[in-house]
Amino acid sequence: MDILGILIPVSLFLGLLGLGAFFWMLKRGQFEDPEGDANRILTEDYDDKPKS
């Protein structure tokens, strides 16, 4: 049962990591335009330089 001492903190840490990632996505507005994002990867414009 000693293994629980490691497993429980590890599972909690991973869960918190996921929760943190979700908050980060929410804050960055990654759910603002789900349809647009799905379509943007299909655009045919080549961007030669990074967007300023």
Interface positions with other proteins (CB under 8 A): 1, 4, 8, 11-12, 15-16, 18-19, 22-23, 26, 29, 31-36, 38-45
Query: What's the closest the beta carbon of residue 3 comes to other proteins, in angstroms?
Result: 12
Matching residue, tokens 């990074």: 50
CA 1, distance to chain mean position in Å, is 34
**How far apart, in Å, do the first and last CA atoms of the chain sit?**
56
Query: What's the closest the beta carbon of residue 50 comes to other proteins, in angstroms?
Result: 14
Query: What's the closest the beta carbon of residue 49 comes to other proteins, in angstroms?
Result: 14
Tokens describing residue 31: 């759910």
